[in-house]
Each structure stands twice: as structure tokens, then as C-alpha cells.
Amino acid sequence: MDIFNLSMQAVLGQLLLGLVNGSFYAMLSLGLAVIFGLLRVVNFAHGAVFMMGSMLAWIGLTQLDLSYWIMIIVAPLLTGLVGIAIEKGLLKRLYGLDPLYGLLLTFGVTLLLEGFFRSFYGVSGMSYNVPDSLQGAVDLGFMILPYYRGWVVLASLTVCFGTWFLIEKTKIGALLRAGTENPKLVQAFGVNFPLLVTLTYGFGVALAAFAGVLAAPIIQISPLMGSNLIITIFAIVVIGGMGSIMGSILTGLSLGLLEAFVKVIYPEASSTVVFFVMVLVLLLRPAGLFGKEA
Amino acid sequence: MNRNRMQYIIGALLLLALVLPYVAYPIFLMKILCFALFSSAFNLLLGYTGLLSFGHAAFLGTGGYICGYVIRNLGYPPELGILAGVSCSMVLGLVMGGLAIRRQGIYFAMITMALGQLAYFFFLEAPFTGGEDGMQGIPRGRLLGLIDLQSDITMYYVVLFVTVASVLFIARVTTSPFGKVLFAIKENEPRAISLGYKVDRFKLLAFVLSGALAGLAGSLQALMLGFESLSDPHWTTSGLVILITLVGGVGTLIGPIVGGVIIVVLEQKVGDIGTWLYHLTSIEWFNTLGESVSIVTGLIFVICVMSFRKGIIGELQDRWKSP
């Protein structure tokens, strides 16, 4: 079966790539939504911490000889700690002010992080080899599935739905949701709310770094890789709205797939299709697909 | 008292602006002027209407590319090039603003950023812009058929005149009844709505005005430099204009100008400062500072947001108000 003179195999390969990208989108917009829910801060630095995850994985492998499997744990932890420091040292003092200041601060942090890594590693792309245990591919009959891509999709979906479960179905999630609705009341019940906020930010940031490590063997690693991504993520967040966890996951995945699909039928538009969808959503349903506020 | 001191500052700045081209490099001074105008336009939106646009670089790029195209490819004189650049920026402002005001606050910023990126992709792909190479060789020509712009000094005074006129125009807008309504929207939007103002129309008009003036800055810059490149519509420029306005003072008339002077000079000199620090401390790393200016701009950003939210002029105004 052929679509536009392309073999089914190639199309499915593209869609798999779309699913891979979509799972990065999902993880990042999920983190943004979780952070925004509790802190009312749009974390511009999300792209930069994604980059930090990749860079740390690369530094770990090339300079310290630490394997992928070690760095996939260590990099998110380290980045999460940096996140906690940012929240405790800087963001904390901006609560109660116009939320725009949070965006501006994290924008400044982005420039700092980018400039920092740039001053050591320049701007040229670096590559990271797929770990030995995930080399190769399996022929599924209708398409060829490289093990690594399968692992990325599996790992990110697990993390996404794990987060969803954590927030929607557990006690700590109930606290978080309550904090989103009314922080003062939650505090009155004896919950250490500031700690909850700090940990939430750290968690959201670690999630982005985890995505960064997952992405390291697939994309070109460079200090600037995060900033173009964050703008796409913003468009995705505008499309989906930041009110719903499941909404963020589904929007992220479907836009990744859509991007891949457009790449097959009209490659020129694949980098801009997300923005056009955003325009369309703004015209037809300004509140966003899963949004509540007008 | 307060008013008088501000007038002294403005007077001193103007006097300085008049004599500087004989002392300093005019192209560099024009760059500062263009960014001062660009930031003033941006400030009309953030400082006087309360809307944070994260996509203003699109206007600078549109002004520059359209002006360049009309002069270089179509062979029209500079004034028509500038007019075309400004008109296209207005249309872009109408589209971008029309879309972005459908959401409030933080979403407004994200939407403008995404639309700005869309504009960037357009300039990257469009056949007339020269893509990564940029648009080269835009001739300055003769303004209105009378003034030959070849000399940098003449060009400088034209840019200075347009910048001062635009800033006066912004001052007029913000003190007009229209400007008061914008300010009311900034302070309390629901109240402005309940008073019967069609808030969306006011916001859109402010956005279009700001876009047009930013486009004017872009047109002038392309004309005086003779080229236009992708760094103008890039999102980093949107960040830069926010920084300039923040450093100078959001919602003050001359804040963006003061901020423009400081940030443009700083960006240019960071490399030298780094080398100097290296000689002082002999830490090798300082030498790389010129390559990664964003460390410095990021740092200033963080400091401004944390403890200097009123900016230089805002702080001065506060100090002079209280005895």
C-alpha cells in the first residue's frame, strides 16, 4: 500500500518518529502544566533544563565515563536540585507579584544556563551513541522498529501516565490539586505548602531533564537545543490549555504525530504546523482544547 | 521639582545626541537609536497597556525586510520603503494582536512568542529575504529626493529626528484620553469593561500602534545598515527589547531610551570587559564571555526581575518624589 508514492514502511517510520517527538512534547508540556498549576509560573527555563539533561548525559559519558543508564538517573536528579535551588533562591520571592515576572525570571535563567554551557562547549552539535543494550532493531513485519525509539516511547509514556496517576489518584496528588485550588486552606490544614511547591518545581524540572537524556541519542546535542523547542511547547500549551494533566499528555502526543504526518505529505510545513494549529484553535476555541478559562 | 529634573535629563540627552556623532561612530549611535525607538514602541504596550508581547522581534524584522525589499528590489526611494515597512508591520500587528488578545496574561505572552516564531520561519524560508545569508546591499538613496543619505552624519540626524518625533508621539498618545483608557485597562481590566469600554478594541489599537513603531525602528535600521538579517526577527531580539525596557524603567517615557543606550553598549563591549577581567584575574574562562553574551544579559535579567523591577528611571522618579 502506498501513500503519495511513499511506502507504508516509510510512512510508519515517520509516524514512529512523530510519536517519539510527541512523547517529548507530552513530557515537557506536562511538566509546564504541573508547575503552572501550583506556582502560577510559566517556566520558560523548561527548554534549558531539557538541554541540561542532554548535556549532562553527554558530559557524563564523554568526560566521566558514566553510562547512559547511570546518567538517566543522575542527570534528572542533578537538574532537579538546580531547579530546587532556583525555586528557593529566586522564584519564591516573586509569588504574589504579577505572574509575568515569573516568566521573565525564568527567561533570564534560560539565557544564563545557555550562556554557561555555551562558554564551555560552544554552539556546534555533539552526538551521543545509542547505548549498546538498545542497539539494533526488530522487524515487525509491517515496519522496522529500532529498539531505542521503542524504548523512548515506552519510557516517556510510562512516566507521563505515572505522573497522571500520581496527581489524580494518590493522596499527595490530592494535596497538590487542593493547593492549586486554594493554597491558604491547604496550609491551614497543616500541610507544609512551601515544601510542596519547591518539590513540585524540582519534579517538573527533573521531568524535563529526563526527557533531555532520552533525547540525547536521537538529536544533535547543543547548548541552544532547548530554546527552539520551548517555543513549540508554548504553542502546544496554548492549544491544550494548562488546566488538565491528561490534556497536556494527549495534546503533546497528537501534535507530534500530526507533525510527522505533515512531514510525509508536505515537508515544508512540518516545522510550522504546530503554530498554525495554535492559530486555528485560537480562532475556533480561544480557551484551548482542554482549557477552562476564557 | 521632579518634573524639572526629568526635563534636565531629557535636555542633556538631546544635547548629547546632537554632538555625539562627531565623537563616536555614527553607525553604532544609530543602532542605539533604533533600539531605543524599538523599546519605546514595546513599552507603549507593556508599560502603558500592561500587555507583555514576547514576539516583538517580528515587527523589527518585518519593517527591515519589507523596507529593504521595496528599496532594493523594487527600486523605490527610502521614504516609500519606510512607509511600506511600517504599513506591513501594522498589518502584522492587526493579525498578531487580533489573535493574541483572545487570551489574557501569561497566555498572551506565549501566543505572541509562538506567532513571532512563525514570522521568523517565514523570513527564513521566503525567497526574497536571502535566508541565512540575509538581505544585502540595500541602498540608502535620497530622502524625498532632497536629502542625500550617503553620509553617515546626515543619516544619523534623520534617524535622530524620526526617533525623537516618535517618542514625542508616544508621549502624546499616553497622555491623551485614549492613553488614559489604556492605563485603566492595565490597572484594572474588569473595571474598564464594566465602565463600558470595548477593551479588546483599545488593546488591539495599542498593539497595532506599537507594532507600527517597532516596524519603523526596523525599517530605519535596515536603511542605515544597508542590510537585514535573521537575527532581527529571532526570539532573542524579543527578549532583548524586554530587557532594555526593564533596565530603563517599564512605563516611563525615557526609560527605554536609557535602557537602550546601556544594553546596546554593554552587548558590544562584553567581549572587551571579559578580556580585561582575564588580564586582571588570569582566569581563562573570562575570554569566552564575548562569545556567550547571554550569560551577562541573563544575569542582568535575573537581577532586574529580582530587585530592580522599576528600572533606572523608575527608581529615580521614586527617589525624587519623596523628599
Band of pLDDT at residue A192, cut at 50, 70 and 90: confident
Picking from A28, A51, A107, A242 by the largest number of B CB atoms within 10 A of its own CB, the best residue to mutate is A107
pLDDT higher than threshold 60 for residue A246: yes
Query: Which residues have a Cβ under 8 Å from the Cβ of B161 and sit 6 or more positions away?
Result: none
Please state, rounded to an integer, the average pLDDT across all residues of chain A.
87
Nearest to A107 among B125, B288, B301 (CB): B301
Band of pLDDT at residue A154, cut at 50, 70 and 90: very high
Q: What is the pLDDT of residues B38-63, one digit of tens each?
A: 999 999 999 999 899 999 999 999 99
B249 and B259 in contact (C-beta within 8 Å)? yes
**Residue B270 touches chain A, beta carbons under 8 Å:** no
- pLDDT at residue B137 in the model: 84
pTM: 0.89
Residue A234 to residue B118, Cβ atoms within 8 A: no
Band of pLDDT at residue A5, cut at 50, 70 and 90: low
d(CA A55, CA A48): 10
pLDDT higher than threshold 60 for residue A293: no
- pLDDT at residue B292 in the model: 74
Grid cell listed for A204: 517538573
**Residue B165 touches chain A, beta carbons under 8 Å:** no
pLDDT higher than threshold 50 for residue A179: yes
Query: Could you say which residues of chain B have pLDDT below 70?
Result: 1-3, 322-323
A282 → chain B, closest CA residue: B99
- pLDDT at residue A1 in the model: 47
Q: Write out chain B residues lying below 8 Å of A231, CB-based.
A: 113-114, 117, 235
Q: Residue A137's beta-bridge partner residues?
A: A146
Domain boundaries, chain B: 24-234
Q: Residue A145: in which H helix or E strand, if any?
A: strand A144-146
**Residue B117 touches chain A, beta carbons under 8 Å:** yes
d(CA B248, CA B250): 7
Q: Across residues A58-83, what is the average pLDDT?
A: 90
Grid cell listed for B145: 529626493
The residue type found at B52 is L
Grid cell listed for A24: 517529548
Residue A234 to residue B113, Cβ atoms within 8 A: yes
pLDDT higher than threshold 70 for residue A294: no
pLDDT higher than threshold 80 for residue A8: no
ipTM of the complex: 0.87
**A134 Cα to chain B: minimum distance (Å):** 35
